[in-house]
Structure 1
Amino acid sequence: MSTSSDKVGAELCKGINGLDKVVLRESRGTSAEVYLYGGQVTSWKNDHGEELLFVSSKAIFKPPKAIRGGIPICFPQFGSHGSLEQHGFARNRQWSIDTDPLPFPTNSLSKAYVDLILRPSEEDLKIWAHSFEFRLRVALSPGGDLMLTSRIRNTSADGKPFTFTFAYHTYFSVSDISEVRIEGLETLDYLDNLQNKERFTEQGDAITFESEVDKIYLSTPTKIAIMDHEKKRTFVLRKDGLPDAVVWNTWDKKAKQMADFGDDEYKHMLCVEAAAVEKPITLKPGEEWKGRQELSAVPSSYCSGQLDPRKVLLSS
């Protein structure tokens, strides 16, 4: 594994269909890819070169279609309840590299990061009449953790506040969805999108999967663990400024209805999304909101053939 300095850092290059992307590399061999289209992370690999995020084999890398997989940015709307297209427009706009970035509290040892910025176009202002600056930093830590930090500022000159909802729509790559469990959301209330957003309380000791799921968990902890029993791997999601967590898997019937998603790919993906959905965020002119997500992948602990999630959550 090369550790030469020219392999470490950020490199702008061409991706699928000639779209611009930035490749981040850390000295131990971890990497990530970020497309300027959507400001979207589409790859995160560990030091063995294993892909940790799911991107559909049928994903369409062609504007204006959003890329199916990786970490789409849902802004200024999560879901389809508002007047905008589902999940807002940030995920299918062209972002720019931020040449004058704000200071981000990040690991100062890391050279592998990129700062992106999105401002509304005239067309955007017609559908959502609010001026904003959305700054996004994507960084790889020296240990290979993937960090996304968003800063959204109301730059309106007309004195009007605006309100938005938000999510990092993270698609994790898993070996087999029936072998996966989530710890950290048990006993919490959730809104079930499959039942008209009715509110329920999670009853299970851990969340496992045997059918379609689309839930918004409320007032969630800052740390959630996703355990892949077959891969003996645990993803740890840490978040700040994002009180909710969305859990989504299409299962078989819905997968077959999606043109940009393989019929059986639901078995190998799970979306767990740091989000702010239940209570929308309101910014007055000049105010800024910040939301952060950090992902790490660690070997799972085993206890009597079962994962010991509490050990993972405590030690990570």
Structure 2
Amino acid sequence: MAAASSPPTPRSPRPQAPSAERTKGPSGLEKVVLREARGFSAEVHLYGGQVTSWKNDRGDELLFVSSKATFKPPKAIRGGIPICFPQFGTHGILEKHGFARNRFWAIDDNPPPFPTNAAVKAFVDLILKPSEEDLKIWPHSFEFRLRVALGPGGDLVLTSRIRNNNTDGRPFSFTFAYHTYFSVSDISEVRIEGLETLDYIDCLRGKERFTEQGDAIVFESEVDKIYLDAPAKIAIIDHEKKRTFVLRQDGLPDAVLWNPWDKKTKNTQDFGDEEFKHMLCVEPAAIEKPITLKPGEEWKGKMELSAVPSSYCSGQLDPNKVLQG
């Protein structure tokens, strides 16, 4: 009698070539899907120049997008990484958080050279220029170039370059934020390291200035703070998922921390009532001191996100703190 044959050993998926594919989402809005060789992916909508998905090699979604998000202009998309420009917050006649997050961006076919890692093969370059309507509410000529790149280790990198193209000699000033919504297991299981002892502006207490006390930051109620002189690296530690997001920034001196909690969420149409439990915004920003550019000058602001496994001993990262890496 012939011996029974062993079942075939399952093969690992073959690495795919990195790619950037232009396609359309269910709503009909155009987007670019970035894929890296080992299975990481990201999606970037041309509407808003907005990253709306970032997945690891297991297909886990790392960014939060509300189940009630509206993918219909002129409403901004609730979640992912909205771009706040030329202002953060509400001031004057400009709409809240500026207009970049609800304008259609174009693919930038001839970007100027970006200093980048040669190993990065999956990226897209976008560009935003002011329309005639934009010039009526913010009368400045600019070019906003955005590169969204997916590194071979799954890191997500956003690089913004803003240039003053005014021909009348006028400078302009702006504030800015990468309004990043992280997906978390439960907000009560999350803590932030890297913002301890910093001064912050509390937007829930009349924009008064305070100094952060104690150790790592945890969450028990609504938070809306702007931390000043933030470090180049911040860690968002999710105990339940044993995952740590590491946020690195360059050119962005502030960091916004925001969770609307239950009452505000229930009063927001494009937010599910309980979704505040599963998201946290940590946003590299330039808010307290606006950026000023003279004609011909360019500003650059960069954010790099990575997600790494983390283990714990008595509730602390063990043994090497991510922030020391």
TM-score tier by shorter-chain length is over 0.9
Matches within 5 A, 1:1-316: 1-5=13-17, 8-308=18-318, 311-315=321-325
The letter for the 2-side match of 1:189 is D
SS of 2:217's equivalent in the other structure is: coil
Q: Is the 8 A contact 2:123 2:149 kept in 1?
A: yes
Name the CA distance, whole Å, in 2 between partners of 1:240 and 1:69. Answer: 22
SS of 1:263's equivalent in the other structure is: coil
Using the size of structure 1 for normalisation, the TM-score is 0.97
Name the CA distance, whole Å, in 1 between partners of 2:315 and 2:231. Answer: 27
Gaps of 5+ in 1: none
Name the CA distance, whole Å, in 1 between partners of 2:72 and 2:241. Answer: 32
Q: Is the 8 A contact 1:29 1:48 kept in 2?
A: yes
Q: Taking structure 1 as reference, are residues 309 and 91 closer, same or farther at Cα in structure 2, changes over 3 Å only?
A: farther
Name the CA distance, whole Å, in 2 between partners of 1:118 and 1:310. Answer: 41
Q: Is the 8 A contact 2:16 2:36 kept in 1?
A: no
SS of 2:86's equivalent in the other structure is: coil
Aligned CA RMSD, in angstroms, stands at: 1.0
Deviation at 1:75, TM superposition (A): 0.1
Deviation at 1:312, TM superposition (A): 1.4
Deviation at 1:308, TM superposition (A): 4.3
Deviations 1:132-175 (A, max 9, x none): 00000000000000000000000011110000000000000000
Name the CA distance, whole Å, in 1 between partners of 2:172 and 2:324. Answer: 38
Deviations 1:213-268 (A, max 9, x none): 00000001000000000000000000000000000000000000000000000000
Deviation at 1:304, TM superposition (A): 2.7
Name the CA distance, whole Å, in 2 between partners of 1:234 and 1:62. Answer: 33
Name the CA distance, whole Å, in 1 between partners of 2:321 and 2:67. Answer: 35
Deviation at 1:196, TM superposition (A): 1.4
Q: Alignment length, in residue pairs?
A: 313
Higher helix fraction: Structure 1 or Structure 2?
A: 1
Q: Is the 8 A contact 2:246 2:307 kept in 1?
A: yes
Name the CA distance, whole Å, in 2 between partners of 1:105 and 1:59. Answer: 34
Deviation at 1:9, TM superposition (A): 1.4
Deviation at 1:306, TM superposition (A): 3.4
Name the CA distance, whole Å, in 2 between partners of 1:46 and 1:272. Answer: 19
Q: Is the 8 A contact 2:84 2:97 kept in 1?
A: yes
Deviation at 1:107, TM superposition (A): 1.6
Q: Is the 8 A contact 1:32 1:43 kept in 2?
A: yes
Q: Taking structure 1 as reference, are residues 309 and 234 closer, same or farther at Cα in structure 2, changes over 3 Å only?
A: farther
How many percent of aligned residue pairs carry the same amino acid? Answer: 80
Deviation at 1:310, TM superposition (A): 5.8
